Structure 1
Amino acid sequence: MVTIGSIVLHVSDNIRAAEFWKGALGYVALPNNPDFLAPADGNGPRLHLDEDDRTHLDLYAADKREQEAEVERLISLGAKRVDWDYPDGADFVVLADPDGNLFCVIDTSH
């Protein structure tokens, strides 16, 4: 089953937002990307600060097979596939919930 791996939060200023959310949640910036914040103890979803993307959930699947199964399961629950311009080798599938909110199902095996 998928889990919430990260919450992508649309912000106007990554640095200001990072300082706020680190203080509010006790999160720390990931060393390889300061726009990704994570719980200091490593338990819980990451927060991805993004000035370009819209706010959405990233649901994590363990591998491609689980991703495909979860996409089909979510569609059976009422999600819809979204027409998206995917880059080559994309590890994500974009879906919309019944209210039209976008979310991604990500193959985390890469």
Structure 2
Amino acid sequence: MITIGSVVWGVRDIPGAVEFWTAALDYELRREPDIDWAMLVPREGEEGIQLSLKLTNSDAPHRHHLDLFADDQEAEVRRLLALGASEVAWEYEEGADYVVLADPDGNRFCVVRG
């Protein structure tokens, strides 16, 4: 059997990404971050997948994204925008159940109606 141990997210600013993603996901640092790497985990007693942040200087297209499932999609989108996320111009199909946002590093993610 194999399971996902971590999702690795390329960022250009480790401290900024730690600040955004810990607040966005209600995660905490697993241990003190390195200059080029940080591991985020759910707060004690919570379930979820580890998110690892890797420093990158690449301008390559982003080929990864997270789908964040939300019971109250509108409230979560507002909260994430207030934390520093930005809206992404996107052509949504009729009846789309997701909103595309970008984190402060420009990495896209979706907030999906739970």
Task: Report the TM-score when normalising by structure 2.
Answer: 0.47
How does the TM-score come out when normalised to structure 1? Answer: 0.49
